[in-house]
Chains A and B, each alone.
Chain A
Amino acid sequence: MEILIALAIGVLFTVGVYLVLSKGLLRILLGTTLITHGVHLLLLTMAGLKTGASPLLGEKADSYVDPLPQALILTSIVISFGVSAFFIVLAYRAYRSAGTDDVEGARGEGHE
């Protein structure tokens, strides 16, 4: 199972990096989201995918899963959700202001 998820993380990172390196603003934005997803999966997998009861003392099981990665991922998802939302609005605003979503025009030399 770890191998499978490791592959998935690799694919997410590859696609994400490819998209971030492209010219369109929307693609870059999607790229960052995919990289963030890859990182969340990484966080889940790196602690080891254990099988066991949910971490409640009442379960009286032999083994429990580690609750910390879930807590971290939850926090991280909330943050990346907020930042992505802001990023999307900003990209839209920049598109309206510049008339294009091509980041070549974002270099901005000389004329200020």
Chain B
Amino acid sequence: MNNLLVLPLLIPAFTGVILIFLKEYVKLQRIISAISVFVNIAIAIMIVYQVNTYGIQTLYMGGWLPPYGIVFVADMFAALLVLTAAVVGAACLFFSFASIGEERERFYYYTFFHFLLTGVYGSFLTGDLFNLFVCFEVLLVASYAMIVLGGTRVQLRETLKYILVNVISSSLFVAAIAYLYAATGTLNMAHLAVRVAEAGQGGVMNVIAVLLLLVFSLKAGLLLFFWLPDSYSAPPQAVRALFGALLTKVGLYAIIRTFSLIFVHDLGVTHSLIGWMAGATMILGAVGALAYNDLSRIFNYNIVISVGFIAFGISVATQDSLNGVVFYLMHDIVAKALLFFLGGLILAASGTEQLRLMGGLIRRYPWTGWMFFVLALALVGVPPLSGFAGKVMMVRSGFGEQHTALSLIALASSFVVLYSLIKVFQQAFWGGEKNEEEIRPLHYKAMMAPAAVLFVLVILMGIGAEWVNGYVSQAGAVLADPAAYINAVMKE
């Protein structure tokens, strides 16, 4: 029992509620939000420390022991993701201060922001499948509001599609939960793992597993990403950064959790399906990233490619590749947020999203330019930077486990990432200046600060990979051998 685990939910939830009553006091809203995110980082660090020292932490709500009642579990994987999400959430908050505009701030932007974080932390920490659904809904409802906040026609149109896709997929999620409950009689994830192992993962279980995979893939943008590029282009840059960094990762987290803990007895069906989907996602994402010439679409297809890449690591499912998945997931959350921050800076500096209308920004904004260049290298996985370690672990075990074709696709997709981002770098930062009037963005320095913090983090995660790996391999060990997780939750 560890009551600390509920705080990552309670703090943003309470903050969000308090901010509702402070609608007109924008300054106060900012101060309270900032305090809240910093407290959250501190608590996330404490959770990581406790998991590191004392092993997997659990919290039985109301003292009801499993399989009854709701359980919160923090293994190293969940704890690391909560910490990463807290850091990136704080950066997004400070980026919002500079870029979101007072109009949105007065219409409950920060409230939705904190509710979204509530849902994200909840999804990472819960140990119960239905509770996962509830946390998903919390973050989705907040994300609906954040996409549409501002009410332009594009936003209304894209939100309609986004809601429709998510309402249907949530319905299917509940249906899958219903089937699973009928087949096993429990919804506690650790207990489910025990029951599925007892009953054997036969036909019915595989159908349920594939249905769950379908639902989570819709949320994560794995293969079923048709809604993603347009929806994520509609809101302002700060929201895009938050979504690109966190939302798809929650879906991926659900896939990893379900297919490393519960459905692990028939890898030939479930994991090879994930492998196929991962390959198709990387190829289609690459096509999209090459096809478009505007900033938001190129970045959004880069999200898709990285989702495919992480799914590839899941399908290989060795200890080494799961370590890689955890490492790469953490890197990707930070790096994608930074990518969208820099996209926001480019947008503010050039006043357009179309690449052909940009040029020559490097003269006025050398720091932004070189940060973008280094980030592109980090996303590709050039050695001293954060993308390298995770990528190496996944691809190495991919080749080791005879997933040659998939590994080659994964490597090729890295080149597409490199090409598409260097294209942006070249067209936006090099060449002659294209726009006549000089745009002087108002809050450029304030937008730069959170980007710089994440930039330092990307470099530190790369240089300190050995140190990070100490934590990551603990997370990977639990994913590779779920017995530790099950024992921690089901102990009397």
The listed residue (B141, B157, B175, B182) touching A83 by CB distance below 8 A is B141
CB–CB A106/B181 < 8 A: no
**CB atoms of A94 and B156 under 8 A apart:** yes
- Residues from chain A with Cβ under 8 Å of B187 in the complex: 68
Residue of B nearest to A73 (CB): B174
Whether the Cβ atoms of B160 and A108 lie closer than 8 Å is no
Measured between beta carbons, the chain B residues less than 8 angstroms from A42 are 174-175, 178
Complex Cα gap A68–B67 (Å): 12
A46 at the interface (CB under 8 A from B): yes
Q: Report if A48 contacts B (CB, 8 A).
A: yes
A43 touches B174 (CB 8 A): yes
Closest to B175 in A: A39
The number of chain A residues touching the other chain, given as a range, is 35 or more
Q: Does any Cβ of B come within 8 Å of A97's Cβ?
A: yes
Q: Tell me, in angstroms, the Cα distance from A6 to B175 when the chains sit together.
A: 13
Nearest CB of B to A11, in Å: 15
A43 to B182, CA, bound (A): 9
For A65, the chain B residues whose CB sits under 8 A away are: none
- Chain B, residue nearest A25 (CB): B160
Which residues on the B side are within 8 Å of A46 (C-beta)?
A: 178-179, 181-182
Residues of chain B within 8 A (CB-CB) of A68 are 181, 187
Mark each residue of chain A from 59 to 100: 1 if its CB lies under 8 Å from any CB of chain B, else 0.
000000000110010011001101100110011011001100
* Assembly CA distance A93 to B161 (angstroms): 14
Please give, as numbers and ranges, the residues of chain B lying within 8 Å of A108 by CB-CB distance.
Answer: 154, 157-158, 230
Bound CA–CA A87/B158 (angstroms): 13
Kindly list chain B residues whose C-beta atoms are within 8 Å of the C-beta of A97. Answer: 151, 153, 156
Give complex CA distance A35, B151 in Å: 28
The one of A35, A79, A90 in contact with B134, judged by C-beta atoms closer than 8 angstroms, is A79
Chain A residues with CB under 8 A of B181: 43, 46-47, 68-69, 72
Chain A residues lying within 8 Å of B154, measured Cβ to Cβ, are: 108, 112
Mask: chain A, 33-57; 1 = CB below 8 Å from B; 0 = not = 0011011101100111000000000
Among residues of A, the one whose C-beta sits closest to the C-beta of B137 is A79
* Contacts A97-B153, A108-B154 given; does A72 touch B163 at CB 8 Å: no
Given A39-B174, A43-B174, A97-B156: A87 touches B167 (CB 8 Å cut-off): yes
User: A75-B134, A90-B148, A91-B160 are known contacts. Are A47 and B182 too (CB-CB below 8 A)?
Assistant: yes
Task: Verify if B159 is at the interface (C-beta below 8 Å from A).
Answer: yes
Contact yes or no, A90 B168, CB < 8 A: no
Given contacts A94-B156, A97-B156, A106-B157, are A87 and B178 in contact (CB under 8 A)?
no
Number of residues from B at the complex interface, CB < 8 A? 33
The answer to whether the Cβ of B3 comes within 8 Å of any Cβ in the partner chain is no
A-chain residues with CB within 8 Å of residue B157 when the two chains form the complex: 94, 98, 106, 108
Q: How far is the CA of A25 from the CA of B161 in the complex (A)?
A: 11
The answer to whether A32 has its CB under 8 Å from any CB of chain B is yes
Asked if B144 is at the interface (CB within 8 A of a chain A CB), the reply is: yes
A31 to B258, CA, bound (A): 30
Q: Is B379's beta carbon under 8 Å from chain A?
A: no
B430 on the interface (CB 8 Å rule)? no
* A87-B163 in contact (CB<8A): yes
Which chain B residue has the least Cβ–Cβ distance from A43? B178
A80 to B170, CA, bound (A): 9
Are B151 and A93 in contact, with the CB atoms below 8 A?
yes
Residue of B nearest to A84 (CB): B167
Contact B167 A32 (CB under 8 A): yes
Q: How far is the CA of A27 from the CA of B160 in the complex (A)?
A: 13
Q: Report the minimal beta-carbon distance from A75 to chain B, rounded to whole angstroms.
A: 6
Contact mask for chain B residues 177-189; partner A; CB cutoff 8 A; 1 contact, 0 none: 1110110000100
Chain B residues whose CB sits within 8 angstroms of the CB of A25 once the complex forms: 160
How far is A28 from B160 in the complex, measured between Cα atoms in Å? 11
- Picked from A43, A86, A93, A103, the residue with its CB within 8 Å of the CB of B141 is A86
B408 at interface by CB-CB < 8 Å: no
Does B130 touch A at the CB level, under 8 Å?
Answer: yes
Q: Are B141 and A94 in contact (CB under 8 A)?
A: no
On whether the beta carbons of B175 and A28 are closer than 8 Å, the reply is no
CB closest chain-B residue, reference A41: B178
Contacts of B164 on A, CB cut-off 8 Å? 20, 28, 32
A39-B171, A97-B156 given; 12 more Cβ-contact pairs under 8 Å? A28-B164, A32-B167, A35-B168, A38-B171, A46-B182, A47-B181, A68-B181, A83-B163, A83-B170, A90-B159, A106-B157, A108-B154
A-B contact pairs, 12 of them (CB 8 A): A32-B164, A32-B168, A39-B175, A39-B178, A43-B177, A76-B174, A82-B141, A86-B144, A86-B163, A93-B156, A94-B160, A97-B151
Listed from nearest, the 10 A-B pairs whose CB atoms lie closest are: A46-B182, A43-B178, A46-B178, A94-B156, A39-B174, A79-B137, A39-B171, A42-B178, A32-B167, A106-B157
